[in-house]
Structure 1
Amino acid sequence: MKELKRVITGAQSFSIYRSSEQAILLCHGFNGTPQSMESLGEKFASLGYSVYAPRLAGHGTCPSDMELCSVQDWYRSLETAYLKLKSRFRKVFVIGQSMGGSLTIKLASQFTQIDGIGLINAALEVPDYEKIVGDTGFIKEGRPDIKDPSVEEIAYEKIPVKAISELRKAMNEAKIRLAEVSCPVVVFCSPEDHVVPAACSERIMESISANRKKMISLPNSYHVASMDFDQDLIVREANQFFSIQKTALPANRKSMNA
């Protein structure tokens, strides 16, 4: 789909290239942008990973662009990014937050060679959206669910009702595909999440087929944990779980969009 508006400053896809054989693909959530994953990306890069965070179609421009998108457009954004990284790096790990986690579950079910995934408050349901139906109009969004009051996330103040229907499709497909996920999985769950129930992470742990899986509690973060107080915990535990060799090379920003 062709977007109507320019990307909001700060909401662009970003990449950090390291002379390493390992890369991490970061996927933001519904109504988020790569900005919500940038701090995590910088921290992973400091450990020697190359990092890429694509902007999902229709996000970070204007609500009308989001209204034109389908779940297939969002998934295609992630799949295209994964295939680019896979062609350049020996190992590729994927970390998805909220709806990004839903899309990551689908990706892992289709590409079983993924070396490992991390799911941050992955969405299988969003109770506040359950009564919202239809394909027209917009609804007002509240402040992003972040415990740290100093953090501001780039997000639309209103979202299309149609996009909520597409989000529901993404979550339902993730539920169906859970049993097909066999790569190593680390699940991050905020007990105090005001958007996605912690039961979603528990269901993921129970349903995935992975022989190696682990759940990590995020006691000091709300839903958008990638921007919250437990960032360092996420990076430390994901790095340990993925078990890659650390390096200390200086970061070099290089586009991986081409």
Structure 2
Amino acid sequence: MGEDYQVMDEAKEFYFPGNKIGVLVIHGFTGSTQSMRFLGKQLADAKFTVYGPRLTGHGTAPEDMENASCQDWIETVEWGLEKLKETCSAIFVTGLSMGGTLTLYLAERHSEIKGIMPINAAVNLPEFAANYEKLSSEGIRFMDAIGSDIKKEGVEELAYPKTPVKSIKEIVSLTDIVRNDLQKINTPALIFSSVEDHVVPPQNAKEIYESISSKERAIVSMENSYHVATLDHDKELIAEKCIAFINKIES
């Protein structure tokens, strides 16, 4: 699948070898690893081993994404977890948007994960579900892009210019699976949430915080970033908080 599609340079997976602490860094829906590379580099500079996989159908063309299911995205991150386990004894997971949803998915199923840092993660998207019903009933194949919701001037997210309607059904299915199992999460959680987000309602962070069973959990409110916070004004804050969180748990 997707063998005819070229992966854009900035959308390729990245891997930075480091110490025995591994961090899986997951990008978002219709986005690419470009949105996570700064965070990945900062984590690598802190000596951690970092892997940022490219989710199936992403970083190529919207037509390629149309063929991908949420199961494909789950398999990508499950494989990423295994890859880090080959050299690391402690694993942490962070992700933006749907990457945050996949972070929660992994934490629901892998109690060995030491900590999670979801960033503007999606677990409840009624508007997406309604959009899907409407557009699919009208036979519409693509809708407008949802990428690049960034407050900082002159910063662009490498994301698709249009969103496959079929893919909206897949992200909604994924959020449903994850939302129903949130109480299974016991691992320490640092939940990042932009106060103003035009893609994922900030209420999602509150729902995650209230639904998980983790004793150690906190919400970090980001006052100065929109949805793609990892490329926005708060990108340094995210990196600093993630590094401090990991070091505290592993000290």
| Range into which the TM-score falls when normalised by the shorter chain | over 0.9
Alignment pair present for 1:237 and 2:236: no
- What is the aligned partner in structure 1 of residue 110 from structure 2? 111
Distance 1:126 1:144, change over 3 A: farther
> Match for 2:159 among 146, 152, 155?
155
- What is the aligned partner in structure 2 of residue 22 from structure 1? 21
Q: Which runs of 5+ in 2 are unaligned?
A: none
Q: In the TM superposition, what is the alpha-carbon distance from 1:73 to its structure 2 partner?
A: 0.3
Alignment pair present for 1:49 and 2:35: no
- What is the aligned partner in structure 2 of residue 84 from structure 1? 83
Residue identity in the other structure for 2:77: L
- Contact 2:70–2:174 (CA<8 Å) still a contact in 1? yes
- What is the aligned partner in structure 2 of residue 199 from structure 1? 203
Q: Which runs of 5+ in 1 are unaligned?
A: 247-258
Greater RCO structure (CA 8 Å; 6+ sep): 1
Q: Which has the higher helix share?
A: 2
Residue identity in the other structure for 2:13: S
- Contact 1:136–1:162 (CA<8 Å) still a contact in 2? no
Question: What per-residue deviation string (whole Å, max 9, x for no partner) do you get for residues 176-203 of structure 1?
Answer: 1100111111000001111111110000
Alpha-carbon distance between aligned partners in 2 of 1:34 and 1:14, rounded to the nearest angstrom: 8
Alpha-carbon distance between aligned partners in 2 of 1:43 and 1:234, rounded to the nearest angstrom: 10
Q: In the TM superposition, what is the alpha-carbon distance from 1:232 to its structure 2 partner?
A: 1.2
Q: Secondary structure of the residue that 1:10 maps to in structure 2?
A: helix
Q: Secondary structure of the residue that 1:201 maps to in structure 2?
A: helix
Q: Secondary structure of the residue that 1:26 maps to in structure 2?
A: strand
Question: What per-residue deviation string (whole Å, max 9, x for no partner) do you get for residues 63-85 of structure 1?
Answer: 11100010000111111001110
Q: In the TM superposition, what is the alpha-carbon distance from 1:172 to its structure 2 partner?
A: 0.8
- Contact 1:58–1:65 (CA<8 Å) still a contact in 2? yes
1:42-191 alignment, distance < 5 Å: 42-126=41-125, 128-129=127-128, 130-133=130-133, 134=136, 137-141=141-145, 144-191=148-195
Aligned residues: 245
- What is the aligned partner in structure 2 of residue 11 from structure 1? 11
Q: In the TM superposition, what is the alpha-carbon distance from 1:108 to its structure 2 partner?
A: 0.7
RMSD: 1.7
Q: Secondary structure of the residue that 2:197 maps to in structure 1?
A: coil
Residue identity in the other structure for 1:157: P
Alignment pair present for 1:222 and 2:221: no
Q: Secondary structure of the residue that 2:91 maps to in structure 1?
A: strand
Alpha-carbon distance between aligned partners in 2 of 1:82 and 1:209, rounded to the nearest angstrom: 22
Report percent identity of matched pairs: 40
- Contact 1:126–1:195 (CA<8 Å) still a contact in 2? no
Q: In the TM superposition, what is the alpha-carbon distance from 1:244 to its structure 2 partner?
A: 5.4
Q: In the TM superposition, what is the alpha-carbon distance from 1:217 to its structure 2 partner?
A: 0.7
Residue identity in the other structure for 1:235: A
Question: What per-residue deviation string (whole Å, max 9, x for no partner) do you get for residues 146-179 of structure 1?
Answer: 1112211111111211000001001111101100
Q: In the TM superposition, what is the alpha-carbon distance from 1:3 to its structure 2 partner?
A: 3.8
Alpha-carbon distance between aligned partners in 1 of 2:47 and 2:147, rounded to the nearest angstrom: 34
- Contact 2:31–2:147 (CA<8 Å) still a contact in 1? no
Question: What per-residue deviation string (whole Å, max 9, x for no partner) do you get for residues 208-232 of structure 1?
Answer: 0111111111111100011111011
